[in-house]
Amino acid sequence: MKTNKSVLVSGGTGFIGSHTAVELINAGYSVVIVDNLSNSEATVIDGIERITSQKIPFENVDTCDLKALRGVFERHDFDSVIHFAAFKAVGESVSEPLKYYQNNLVSFMNILELMKEFGRHNVVFSSSATVYGDADELPVTEQSPRKPATSPYGNTKQMCEDILRDCCAAYPVTHGIALRYFNPIGAHPTAIIGELPRGVPNNLVPFITQTAAGIRKELSIFGNDYDTPDGTCLRDYIDIVDLARAHVAALDRMTDGKMQQKYEIFNVGTGRPVSVLELVKRFERVNGVPVPHRFTARREGDVPSVYADPTLANEVLGWKATRDLDDTLRAAWKWQQSLA
């Protein structure tokens, strides 16, 4: 099966979606973006257009609205979808579970329903290392067991993976790849697009950059009594441009008809564990800027360590993380400074 090189990017104005749209265009795909701007800005479209010198068709539509989404399928002739549109705040999902189940499940089911109805073939789903929970063995491979989710957010990732697996088994037209991301950080090297958290950031790097910029007084490092080399948590930080390119590799595999199974899963990480303290120190060093920080209590729900075995993606997708962590941290700071 060889399919066309046009792709719908849901959530395409978000952090990962916008960088992926750029890399898809660089790789020769034509891109349509659908996003309801619930956690992003329309100006991101201008940024993607500036970087790529292309006009991007943009549909301001909520993917939970089946009727409106059907209109998008009617108006555009893409054969593939990359589905990013989802809520992602772990803590908020604990206090508002129905908001997460409603949004994250319905939007994905709508995409799958319309792909079936319109005979569209390929879907890449944004999954997460969160599905591995507190893994018994590190690094985690795609064969590592999924652990019971510790948040509704994490549960939506597991449920969407299962929904995709079942649809690929049931519907001849549907082919799916789930990419399990580790910790995406950084920004486009042009500093034209990057991460735009609303309010107080939940994630480490936006909190670091805002602290360095003086927007936040100090960074709390959540726990220094973990069973890790320096007592702080270990994560696998993946550059956002590298991560975006993993989507291109996944889509190339699908559009070239190279999938061995109708549903495949890949870890997208570097394979390199980095501690929270190490990341903070490294950010300070490469950017020459202090990040006031102190150790506080552990954050509920954090696992001590998780990092990827990316061998499968390296070998099967021909994808590898290439960006140097120092460059990634420089890009994150350059982006933060561009917001001033």
Reduced to 3 states (helix: H, G, I; strand: E, B; else coil), residue 52 is: helix
Q: Least distance in Å: CB of 317 to ligand UFG?
A: 20
Q: Least distance in Å: CB of 226 to ligand UFG?
A: 8
Contact of 186 with 241, CB cutoff 8 Å: yes
Q: Least distance in Å: CB of 55 to ligand UFG?
A: 32
Rounded distance between C-alpha atoms, residue 307 and residue 183, angstroms = 9
Residues lying near ligand UFG in the complex (CB under 6 A): 88, 128-130, 183, 202-204, 207, 219-222, 233, 235, 276, 299, 302, 306
* Beta-ladder partners of 80: 7, 122
Question: The tokens of 220 are what?
Answer: 């709390």
Closest to ligand UFG by CB, 276 vs 331, is 276
Query: For the chain, where are the E strands, in sequence order?
Result: 6-10, 30-34, 58-59, 80-83, 122-128, 175-181, 183-185, 219-222, 234-235, 237-239, 263-268, 274-275, 293-296
Closest to ligand UFG by CB, 4 vs 228, is 228
Q: How far is CA 139 from CA 80, 142, 197, 269, in A?
A: 31, 10, 29, 10
Q: Catalytic residue among 100, 132, 153, 263, which? A: 153
Known catalytic residue at 237: no
Rounded distance between C-alpha atoms, residue 206 and residue 100, angstroms = 23
CA neighbours within 13 Å on the CB side: how many for 136? Answer: 6
Q: Least distance in Å: CB of 276 to ligand UFG?
A: 5
Q: Least distance in Å: CB of 129 to ligand UFG?
A: 4
Rounded distance between C-alpha atoms, residue 112 and residue 131, angstroms = 21
Rounded distance between C-alpha atoms, residue 130 and residue 140, angstroms = 11
- Which residues carry out catalysis? 153
